[in-house]
Amino acid sequence: MNGAQDGVGPPLWLLAELTYRCPLQCPYCSNPLDYADQDRELSTEQWLDVLRQGRAMGAAQLGFSGGEPLVRTDLPELIAGARELGYYTNLITSGLGLTEAKVQAFADAGLDHIQVSFQASDPELNNAVAGSRKAFDQKLAMARAVKDAGYPMVLNFVIHRHNIHQMADILALCENLGADYVELATCQYYGWAFANREGLMPSKAQLVEAEATVNRYRSDLLSREHPMKVIFVTPDYYEERPKACMNGWGSLFLTVAPDGTALPCHSARLLPIDFPNVTEQSLEDIWYRSPGFNHYRGDQWMPEPCRSCDEKGKDFGGCRCQAYLLTGNADNADPVCGKSPHHDRILAARTAADHATTGLEELIFRNARNSRVICRS
Ligand code: SF4
Ligand code: SF4
């Protein structure tokens, strides 16, 4: 008996955020602003136990992320454990710390998929955003190593106002590398990206041009030597309706943070909710019975305009983190929605993006010093 409450299915996707440590300093990092003071990490045995419990509940997809998951020296052991349990596994990495030998070791341990992230299409911008002089060359080498080991080449670029003009160059780089899948994900404004929103958010004109470039690439696919699947994720801030965040709170996705805090999504830690920890409760208890996971299930919690809205079954009122960050109350409708009484905050952000002049060097980069300054101020 799994103790499931009415209408709640099992978590199908498990995201293991193995660590907040990372050699890079991206100013849009989704890790918490106070990550430097959150240095507790689950042990190998504790992670394996989480994976066992998740699989027993029905989870089938497993992501290893961070921070940079490669800083965990027990990664091959965790991959092997996940493989034995029958997960489909994905490693999400910056490529820093990766070597050909490690790629091979991960393949031998049974890893199914590797995604390498880039910051830009050229070394100057890439390294300036990443805060590392060697990052770009290392990423190129590791993207090739991943493909040489027989994996599909899956590349991810976080898009913002300082690299969105490179869209054509980014696609050309990916094609030259022989990429199979490319994710162009515009920043979503949580964590460090929210702190830097004005300096990161593209203007409407930039976005329209970037979309046109991607569409031209797609319409020209058949003439390409290496046709790639390109996914372009546009920012919520330019929509009139919110996305169904995480497909609904506590419906499919379960994230476990480095210290064992269990979350319905990796950003939810910023909410004023007491989330459970896998070191204190079973995963099943957490998923089906904890107040944190039940907080925004169903629609009884919704205030107007969501409560009486005929679209609430489609988007579940949008993103709780966005509602909290923009209105101070996570119960509110996501301000992205044109029906929200707080939609003016989205409109103001769009106007600010049209006039922003923030240089890359003025952004707050993710590093321990900035983290401590921010969380003590
Ligand atoms: S976004 Fe950048 S700094 Fe944050 S974990 Fe990823 S690579 Fe590291
Ligand atoms: S009012 Fe709420 S439920 Fe209706 S569309 Fe907007 S966010 Fe979705």
Backbone angles phi, psi at 205, to 5 degrees: -65, -40
Six-digit token pair at 271? 């909410």
- Give the binding-site residues of ligand 2, using a 6 Å CB cut-off: 241-242, 305-306, 309, 311-312, 315, 317-318, 333-334, 337, 339
Q: Whose CA is nearest to atom 8 of ligand 2?
A: 317
Report CA torsion sign: 230, 236, 239, 242. Answer: positive
Integer Cα distance of 41 and 47 in angstroms: 9
pLDDT at 5: 55
Nearest to 185 by CA among 198, 170, 204, 199: 170
Is 26 labelled a binding residue? yes
Q: Whose CA is nearest to atom 7 of ligand 2?
A: 317
Question: Helix, strand, or coil here: 377?
Answer: coil
Ligand 1 atom nearest to CA at 131:
3
Ligand 2 atom nearest to CA at 318:
7
pLDDT at 216: 92
pLDDT at 227: 81
In the chain, which stretches have pLDDT less than 50?
1-4
Least distant ligand from the CA of 95: 1
Integer Cα distance of 354 and 198 in angstroms: 10
The best mutation among 18, 196, 366 to test binding of ligand 1, ranked by most ligand atoms within 8 Å of the C-beta, falls on: 366
- Give the binding-site residues of ligand 1, using a 6 Å CB cut-off: 22, 24-26, 29, 31, 66-68, 94, 366
pLDDT at 204: 96
pLDDT in tens, 253-295: 999 999 999 999 999 999 999 999 999 999 999 999 999 999 9
154-159, strands of its sheet edge to edge: 229-233, 181-186, 154-159, 113-118, 88-93, 61-65, 13-17, 253-256, 262-263
Report CA torsion sign: 189, 27, 164, 70. Answer: negative
Distance 333 CA to ligand 2 centre (A): 6
The best mutation among 243, 309, 322 to test binding of ligand 2, ranked by most ligand atoms within 8 Å of the C-beta, falls on: 309
Q: What long-range pairs does 339-347 form, CB within 8 A, spacing at least 24?
A: 339/305, 339/309, 340/305, 341/305, 346/237
Q: What long-range pairs does 237-241 form, CB within 8 A, spacing at least 24?
A: 237/189, 237/201, 237/336, 237/346, 237/349, 237/350, 237/353, 238/204, 238/207, 238/350, 239/336, 240/336, 240/337, 240/338, 241/311, 241/315, 241/318, 241/336, 241/337, 241/338
The best mutation among 304, 306, 321 to test binding of ligand 2, ranked by most ligand atoms within 8 Å of the C-beta, falls on: 306
CB–CB of 333/340 below 8 Å?
Answer: yes
Distance 306 CA to ligand 2 centre (A): 5
Distance 169 CA to ligand 1 centre (A): 22
Which whole-number Å values give the CA distances from 354 to 36, 241, 361, in the listed order? 33, 21, 19
pLDDT at 1: 35
